[in-house]
């Protein structure tokens, strides 16, 4: 067998393996919101991605929890919540948040919030009291309640609100009424 054919076969197999491992990594990375089978309350979990990727070579990956918002108290659980993660991407927090922002506009400037930038300029939430916070600062187990009482806020408006809150001495409010002499 020629060397170039062997090299081509090995390269093709390596590419297929890399593709498979990348798909496992993309599907199971990130935080998930599940309903705890023990008490039927929301729980934020993340998976051991390295274990999922390594066991996903050639067959369905074996999943196990890396973190849970109910740990350390319930660390010895049977991890039955993994069935919810296996059943589909509906419990991935990024998907829940993206779905919530879809069709909404920024409460401050009106910019469309249809697409979420996951790489850096995270959108935020405008809370009832006027404060703002990034969506990834919300504890997973209170995500649904927080989203129900919040309005969408774009990254730029959140940055302005945070600047005013954290460094009011550096901000000039041009909308103040002028004091006449």
Q: Strand, helix or coil at 96?
A: helix
If DSSP codes are grouped into helix, strand and coil, which group holds residue 41? coil
For 99-112, the pLDDT digits (tens) are 999 999 999 899 88
C-alpha 101/C-alpha 123 separation (Å) is 9
Residues 151-164, mean pLDDT to the nearest whole number: 88
Structure confidence at residue 176 (pLDDT): 53
Confidence class for position 180, pLDDT limits 50, 70, 90: very low
Q: How many CA atoms lie within 13 A of 78 on its CB side?
A: 4
β-pairing, 124-126 with 132-134? Answer: antiparallel
> How many Å apart are CA 174 and CA 107, to the nearest integer?
20
pTM: predicted TM-score of the whole model, two decimal places = 0.74
User: Tokens for 69?
Assistant: 């918002």
**Least-confidence region, from 3-12, 71-80, 152-161:** 71-80
Q: Is it true that the peptide bond before 132 is cis, omega within 30 degrees of 0?
A: no
Tens digit of pLDDT for each residue in 51-83?
A: 888 887 777 888 999 899 888 887 778 888 888
Q: Averaged over 23-43, what is the pLDDT?
A: 87
């Amino acid at each position: 067998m020629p060397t170039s054919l062997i090299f081509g076969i090995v390269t093709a197999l390596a590419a297929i393996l890399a593709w498979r491992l990348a798909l496992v990594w993309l599907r199971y990375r990130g935080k998930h919101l599940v309903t705890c089978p023990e008490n039927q309350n929301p729980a934020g979990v993340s998976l051991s991605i390295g274990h999922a990727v390594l066991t996903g070579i050639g067959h369905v990956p074996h999943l196990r929890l890396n973190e849970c918002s109910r740990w350390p108290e319930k660390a010895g659980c049977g991890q039955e919540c993994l069935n919810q993660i296996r059943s589909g991407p509906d419990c991935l927090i990024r998907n829940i948040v993206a779905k919530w922002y879809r069709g909404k506009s920024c409460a401050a400037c009106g910019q469309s919030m249809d697409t979420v930038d996951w790489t850096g300029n995270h959108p935020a939430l405008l809370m009832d009291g006027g404060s703002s916070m990034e969506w990834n600062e919300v504890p997973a187990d209170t995500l649904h309640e927080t989203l129900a009482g919040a309005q969408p806020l774009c990254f730029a408006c959140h940055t302005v609100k945070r600047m005013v809150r954290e460094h009011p001495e550096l901000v000039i409010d041009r909308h103040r009424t002028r004091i006449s002499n």
